[in-house]
Amino acid sequence: MKNFLKHSTIICLIALTVAACESNKSSDTSGSNSPEAKTVANDTSATNSTETALTVTDKGCEPNQLTVASGQNSFVITNKSSQPLEWEILSGVKVVEERENIAPGFVQKVKINLEPGEYDMGCGLRSNPKGKLSVKPGQGDSQAKTTVDQGQLVGAIAEYKVYVTKETDQLVADNKTFTDAVSAGDLAKAQKLYAPTHAHWERAEPIAELFSDLDKTMDSRADDFAKKEADPQFTGYHRIEKALFQDKTTKGMKPFAEKLQKDGLELQKRIATLTIEPKNMVGGAAGLIEEVAATKISGEEDRYSHTDLWDFSANVDGSQKIVELLRPVIQKANPDLLTRVDTNFTKVNQKLAKYKTPDGGFATYDKVSEADKKDMKTAIAALSEDLSQLRGTLGVN
């Protein structure tokens, strides 16, 4: 799932004119074409970080092995693949940092403080080979400056852990009912349960997606794999969604359902012992809204069931919960920003309310008018841009 530095890509993806995005494209074609890592001192940075350039193609990272010094680092990622992609730094199966939805031909910068050690890199398609990142001890490791006493975030993070735990517990319970229906061949029941069950994942996604192996098996889309729907690694919610709504069958889905239930229980177990870092919570507010802009507004997230508004609403719920828990520190640090965020949340929720159904769900996405889609894009773009400032405002870069 997602943080503030990727917002420029999202805004570009949903902008009304191409001109609004041109400044985000790479202007250094010689550097972006180089297969070697390009590391330069960033003399203008207050944290004295270095920049390391790499390219992601349809086949993986170029170069596929990097060595950097510990401390503050900036990675300049150029997407030379044929579709939007994500790039991740992984410690085992846990996501240390990521940048999602980098559009083809665009560049994103990822800033992170790295501890010495050996890491993997997720390079575009989930079926691509992982890259290797070696972080060596540096001299005088620099830390990012903070603008807010991090002690003020402790209570909010504790409350957020409670929220995420409750969503995960409910996910496991609903998963059981959902996957039992799939395994039993009850197509109508499984179709009815799909969207409300998946919504729990969407609310807790900033934390759930920290476990890259479970994110891959539970919530990947076909586009994440080289062979698309035919790829044997395409499993989880969206694989079952395809069978239920496009193929109109549960045939052959029992192994996928059993795997999904097993993975949900593993997610519950891991979250119970997880310490949530400030950057995961604070960055998650923007990440959830950027996901709406990248995959929900376009209708590609739930392309088989058209239940995108369920996920859209769940993402907004999760983001708004984070803002609510952080409200006292945001109010103190930047009250004008908080006012703008509240205003745009209201606009987005008003549009969603228009499509709520009497049973508490939502109309299918094909029922949303083009005018309302346009209005939603505008409100989401503004909200995404404002929320992208939270990490910097609260000093958890």
For 181-226, the pLDDT digits (tens) are 999 999 999 999 999 999 999 999 999 999 999 999 999 999 999 9
Which pLDDT does position 215 carry in this prediction? 95
Q: Which pLDDT score is estimated for 139?
A: 62
β partners of residue 396: none
Q: State residue 12's pLDDT score.
A: 44
Buried b or exposed e, range 257-271, using 16+ CB within 10 angstroms? bebbbebbebbbebb
- Please tell me the number of Cα atoms within 13 Å of 27 on its side-chain side: 4
Nearest to 29, CA basis, from 52, 11, 55, 62: 55
Backbone angles phi, psi at 11, to 5 degrees: -60, -40
The pair of structure tokens assigned to 61 is 């990272």
CA gap 295, 311 in Å, rounded: 10
- Asked if 319 contacts 376 with a C-beta cutoff of 8 angstroms, the reply is no
Task: Dig out the tokens for 260 from the structure.
Answer: 């999904």
CA distances from 374 to 14, 90, 293, 356, 378 (A): 9, 36, 11, 18, 6
Q: What is the pLDDT of residue 18?
A: 34
Which pLDDT score is estimated for 150? 67
CA 255 to chain centre: 27
Of 107, 100, 102, nearest in space to 77 by CA: 107
Strand ranges of the sheet holding 85-91, from the earlier edge strand across to the other edge: 65-69, 131-136, 117-123, 85-91, 94-102
- Tokens read off for 358: 């009497």
Whether cis (ω within 30° of 0) applies to the bond prior to 255 is no
105: left (phi over 0), alpha (psi -120 to 50) or beta: left
Predicted TM-score (pTM) of the model is 0.78
Continuous segment of H or E residues that includes residue 63: none
By the 8 A CB rule, do 240 and 260 touch?
yes
pLDDT digits (tens, 9 = 90+) for 276-329: 999 999 999 999 998 888 778 888 889 999 999 999 999 999 999 999 999 999
Q: Where does residue 312 rank: exposed (0-12), middle (13-18), buried (19+ CB within 10 A)? A: buried
User: Does the CA dihedral 136-270-171-215 come out positive or negative?
Assistant: positive
**Maximum separation of any 2 CA atoms in the chain, in Å:** 62
Q: What is the pLDDT of residue 295?
A: 75
pLDDT at 16: 37
- Residues in the chain predicted with pLDDT less than 50, given as ranges, are 1-47, 140-141, 143-146
pLDDT of residue 112: 86
- Placement of tokens 């909200």 in the chain: 383
Per-residue burial over 197-236, b if 16 or more Cβ lie within 10 Å, else e, is bbbbbbbbbbbbbbbbebbbbbbbbbbbbeeeeebebbbb
